[in-house]
């Protein structure tokens, strides 16, 4: 799972996916629906956008589609948009410490840990830290 939402037990119906996507976003948000092979996987978004930075979030809702490289591919596309089209200086994110698959994806994409928030979320009665990660345009463009 990427992002903060807990995955469902399977793929969403078209109506459920449309309703879920309709509840995302705001004026400072750019979001994309992620599909593969005709199926809704989830969403990716840049939010809290200002003149120099944005926060990134990606959520895949079908656990059966994880581990197939879609997260890395989507992250690369969003970073390209953030740094080349929007000309942002930094993209940040927060990921729960136990989400090892997402952390590896973000590291492959160039994100580096810049801090932690202790006990940021409680899942099944247990508190977990958020890892704060960031990538700069300079680092992204040097690796592109």
Q: Does residue 8 lie within any of the structural domains? A: no
Taking the C-alpha atoms of residue 97 and residue 105, their distance in angstroms, rounded to an integer, is 13
pLDDT tens across the length of the chain (144 residues): 333 333 344 555 666 655 655 555 556 899 999 888 888 888 999 999 999 999 999 998 877 777 788 899 999 999 999 999 999 999 999 999 999 999 999 999 999 999 999 999 999 999 999 999 999 999 999 986
Residue 56 lies in domain:
14-143
User: In the predicted model, what is the mean pLDDT of the chain?
Assistant: 85
Check residue 6 and give its pLDDT: 38
Number of domain units in the chain = 1
Tell me, yes or no, whether 126 lies in a domain.
yes
Q: What are 45-68's pLDDT values in tens digits?
A: 999 999 999 999 999 887 777 778
**Any domain includes 6:** no
pTM: 0.80
Q: What is the CATH number of the domain that holds 42?
A: 3.40.630.30
Determine, yes or no, domain membership for 5.
no
Give first-to-last CA distance, the chain, whole Å. Answer: 26
* Cα–Cα dist 41/85, whole Å: 24
């Amino acid at each position: 799972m990427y992002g903060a939402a807990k995955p469902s037990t399977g793929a969403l119906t078209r109506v459920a996916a449309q309703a879920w996507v309709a509840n995302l976003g705001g004026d400072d948000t750019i979001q994309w629906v992620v599909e593969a092979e005709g199926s809704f996987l989830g969403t990716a978004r840049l939010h809290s956008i200002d003149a120099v930075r944005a926060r990134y979030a990606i959520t895949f809702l079908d656990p059966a589609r994880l581990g197939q490289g879609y997260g890395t591919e989507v992250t690369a596309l969003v970073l390209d948009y953030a740094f080349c089209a929007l000309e942002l200086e930094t993209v940040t994110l927060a990921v729960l410490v136990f989400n090892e698959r997402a952390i590896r994806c973000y590291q492959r994409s160039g994100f580096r840990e810049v801090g932690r928030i202790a006990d940021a979320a409680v899942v099944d009665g247990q508190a977990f830290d958020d890892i704060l990660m960031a990538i700069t345009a300079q680092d992204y463009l040097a690796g592109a």
